[in-house]
Every structure is written in C-alpha cells, then in structure tokens.
Chain A
Amino acid sequence: MTQRSGSSVAEGDSPSSSLGPDLARSALAGDRRAVARLLTLVENGTEEGAAALTELYPHTGGAHVIGFTGSPGAGKSTLLNCVAQAFRHRGNTLAVVAVDPTSPFSGGSVLGDRLRMRDLVTDSGVFIRSMASRGHPGGLAHATRDVVSVLDAVGTGFIFVETVGAGQAQVDIARLAHTVVLVEAPGMGDEVQALKAGLLEIADIIVVNKGDRPEVQQTVQAIRTVIAGSGSVAGGWEIPILRTSATERTGIEALVEAILAHRQHMQATDLWSARQARQAYADIEGWLRRYFDEWVAQCMDTRDYDALAEAVVRRACDPATAAHSLLTRFTEGLCSKLKG
C-alpha cells in the first residue's frame, strides 16, 4: 500500500534508501544542515521525508506553536523580528516558518519575509525557513505542518508561523497553532466587520500594529465593538487587543507577555491538551485526504476510466454510476493486493 508516499517525486526516490532516517538522526544530534535538508524533503512530499517524520514524530510535542496572521502588509514579519528577539533575550530557542504565496501563473515565488527579519539571521538560536504556499489555499502550504514537526522534534521551544497575508477565510493556522496572533494595521473601517466570521474568530490575541500611525484608536475601537458582540470567550481567556509599532519597537513587551500569559492559561486549563487533540485530528485528516487524492489519481489513470467516459458520452451510463464503479474496482484491487 502507498505508505505515506507524497506521490511520485521525479528523482532520488528510492524507498529503500536510508537517507531520511539518517538525516533525522543527524538533525536530532544538532546538525542544522541536516535540519534544512529534511525540511526540503518533507516540503517536497518525498518518501524520504515521510520516513524521517516517522522517525522524528516521537520527539515532537514540546514546542509552543504561535501563528501570526492578518492582512497583507500589516507588519507581521517586522513584528516577528521584534517579538522573536524578545523571546531570545529570555533564553528560548526558536524558529520562524514564513509562508508567502506562490504565483498561480508560473508556480514560482519571491519569498520576502526574511527581508524583515535581519536581526535574527545570524543568531544560532534561531532557525528561519521561508515556504511558498505552492497553490494550497487557507494561508499555509500543504507541508507547513510537517516542517513544524521537524523543527519541533529537534527541540525548538517556540515556533512562530507567519501565514500568507490572510483574509477572512484563511483560517488553517487555527489547526496548527496553540496561540493565534492576529495582526492588523490602522485604517481598516468596514473591513473589521468582514473579519468577524473568520480571522477574528480564531484569534487568541489581537494586535493593531503601525501604532505610530493615526487612526489606531479607531481601529482598536472597531475591533473591540465587533468582538464584544460575539459573546463569551471559550475557556475563560479574554482576548487582549494590543497596540504595537514594529518599526518603533513599542508595545513589544506587552505582546510577549500576552503570548506567555496565553501559554500559562492553556496549561492551567485543559486548553493545551484540547488544542493538541485538535491538531491530531486535523493532521490525520490531512493525511487521509492526501491518500484519497492519490487514490483518485490512480483511479483516473486506468483504461476503465476512458471506457467509462466513453460510455457516459454515449449516455449508456451516468457519471455518478461511472465513478462508483471505478471506486469499487479500485478498492477491490486494493484489498486483493493487501491480502496478497
């Protein structure tokens, strides 16, 4: 059966290779180059990456994953540069995973988040990795979870995940992070209402950045009004609305305190384990969908498919019945393969 295969990779995909587990061991021993290499393997959905993840998974679960999401250009990266530094001053190791969009035209991308994080680059306690969304909707890349798992396994204390500049519906981060920080900028009047069903629902901490600009207070007030209407907050956590300026470095300590307070709150209540469980369900679902997608692709890669399409054209069969018949044949084939 197709064990965790991220379907075919063009080159270097011999399943018997021990590259994945070897890299996993080097990474666990502290080799940063091995970590970087592994991140590529899992990002590309290779067999080797999957084998490494199996090896690494028992070592995961220690990291606090913090999502930074919000409108394009709100200052997520610049703010992360400041926040991450403050965490470093407290002696924590950390990683930043920054996702930027892939061009739907060329499949390429320019990943610019690192540009804003120059204070973190040569700090050996920080690992920054840029990812392209590679066509995945929802604000993250398909493999962001796996990249986070690798960084978690090698002992990173805090993992910050910056989503693509996100709108209303890009809420995947809620299934990956323990703490979601929503970063917005002043000057969004009616757009606050639009965030109501979506990003505002998943935020644990709300930041109005660019506090050096006019209209900050209006934006804070607009957000306050909107979330006040949404009733009590789950688990007794009151969502703070903070003001920062990432360029003038004000409000940073309060944001760090809020993140740590949320952590304490999660640990004092059962919220931490609830989020771990939410992640587990989401992760299994993610893999299930991947396997099923592969199966669908395999079903379509058959002569039966062509024959049935032809039957549908002749109106000898309807599309739903055709699909059902393909599925039955495929699962029967799968079962006999599993027995044999």
Chain B
Amino acid sequence: MDIGNEQVIRVLIAKPGLDGHDRGAKVVARALRDAGMEVIYTGLRQTPAMVAEAALQEDIDVVGLSILSGAHLALVPRIMQELKEREIADIPVFLGGIVPKEDIAVLRDMGVAGVFGPGTETRAIIADIREAAVARRKASR
C-alpha cells in the first residue's frame, strides 16, 4: 500500500484543561484513524499554548478539543488567541464535550466550527471534520 501521494487529513486531538477523562477523546481519535486520517494525539492537560504550538508544528488541518470540565468558555478564547498569534487562526476548531445549549452560540461567535455533544454519531464527526479540512484547503489556494 502506498498512500504517500495523497493529501492525508491531519487532525490534532487535544484535551485542554484539568479534567482527567480522555476516553471520549481516544474513541474519536480511533474513529478518525479508521476513516483514514492521521491523528496527532496529545493527551491530557494541554495548555492553550501547547495546543496552538502543536497545531503549528504539525501543520494540522483541523483541531479537535475535548473539554469535559465545563471550562470551555474560559479555555476556547485563550486557544483562539494563541492560534491567532501564530497566524493559524484559519484552522477550524471543533469542540467535544458537555456544553449547555446556550453556550453553543457563544462558542460559535468565538470562532468554533462545531460542537459535538455526548452521543454525537462518530459518522457525523468524521463528515464534519473532513468537510472543514477540504474547505480550508480550497480557501488557502
């Protein structure tokens, strides 16, 4: 098998914040792998700077954040700021976790491309991520 010449989609999966549950993040990482993507898995307790720096160095197409601590409204703007400072704010950022309905619009305003609540089908996650990656590539040409 030689897939070296195709444009593989590279996704960063990170868990910012202090909560210690990464089961969901791992399930999503494996589902994306099974959909043919390359997933850079950075694990627990990532600071906003760590997320942005990894996204830059790995030339990531899509960032996926898993936040279960409820600190999304505090963390997301800081991550967006770090991305902006590195001039990579055009990377679509998705958020997975438990997010109250009223926060979704707020997160959207902060630039989040999509929010995946508990029970979102992995098929839907894969489709959204692929679509966002392709759209960004088209835009950057």
Q: How many residues of B contact A (CB 8 A)?
A: 37
Decide: A103 and B34 in contact? CB cutoff 8 A.
yes
Nearest B residue (CB) for A96: B57
The interface residues of chain A lying within 8 Å CB-to-CB of B53 are 121-122
The interface residues of chain A lying within 8 Å CB-to-CB of B39 are 108-111
Provide the B107-141 mask, 1 if CB < 8 A to any CB of A, else 0.
Answer: 00000000000000000000000000000010001
Decide: A44 and B87 in contact? CB cutoff 8 A.
no
Q: Is the interface of A mostly helix, strand, loop or mixed?
A: loop
Stretch from B43-51, B62-70, B73-81, B95-103 contacting the other chain: B43-51
- CB of A32 closer than 8 Å to a CB of B: yes
The interface residues of chain B lying within 8 Å CB-to-CB of A127 are 57
Q: How far is the CA of A40 from the CA of B60 in the complex (A)?
A: 9
The interface residues of chain B lying within 8 Å CB-to-CB of A115 are 41-43
Q: How far is the CA of A132 from the CA of B58 in the complex (A)?
A: 12
- CB of B93 closer than 8 Å to a CB of A: no
Which one, B3, B5, B86, contacts A6 given CB within 8 A? B5
Q: How far is the CA of A11 from the CA of B138 in the complex (A)?
A: 9
Which one, B7, B37, B49, contacts A44 given CB within 8 A? B7
Q: How far is the CA of A40 from the CA of B41 in the complex (A)?
A: 18
Q: How far is the CA of A111 from the CA of B137 in the complex (A)?
A: 22
- CB of B8 closer than 8 Å to a CB of A: yes
Which one, A10, A33, A106, A109, contacts B6 given CB within 8 A? A10
- CB of B21 closer than 8 Å to a CB of A: no
Known: A44-B6, A103-B34. A33 touches B1 (CB 8 A): no
Q: How far is the CA of A136 from the CA of B7 in the complex (A)?
A: 17
Known: A110-B29, A121-B53, A122-B53. A33 touches B42 (CB 8 A): no
Decide: B30 and A9 in contact? CB cutoff 8 A.
no
- CB of A104 closer than 8 Å to a CB of B: yes
For the complex formed, measure the closest distance between the CB of A109 and the CB atoms of chain B, giving whole angstroms. 5
The interface residues of chain B lying within 8 Å CB-to-CB of A142 are 2, 4
Known: A110-B29, A114-B42, A115-B43. A44 touches B8 (CB 8 A): yes
The interface residues of chain B lying within 8 Å CB-to-CB of A6 are 4-5
Interface residues in B11-63 by Cβ distance below 8 A to A read: 29-30, 32-43, 47, 49-50, 53-54, 56-59
Which one, B1, B7, B10, B40, contacts A107 given CB within 8 A? B1
Interface centre among A7, A9, A107, A112, by most chain B C-beta atoms within 10 angstroms, is A107
Q: List 30 A-B contacts (CB under 8 A).
A: A10-B6, A11-B141, A12-B141, A33-B56, A33-B88, A36-B58, A36-B59, A37-B59, A40-B59, A44-B6, A106-B33, A107-B8, A108-B32, A108-B34, A108-B38, A109-B33, A109-B39, A110-B30, A111-B38, A111-B39, A111-B41, A114-B40, A114-B58, A115-B42, A122-B50, A122-B53, A129-B57, A130-B58, A134-B8, A135-B2
Q: A111-B39, A114-B40 are in contact. List 4 more A-B contacts (CB 8 A).
A: A6-B4, A11-B7, A109-B38, A135-B3
Q: Which residues of chain B have a CB within 8 Å of any CB of chain A?
A: 1-8, 10, 29-30, 32-43, 47, 49-50, 53-54, 56-59, 86-88, 137, 141
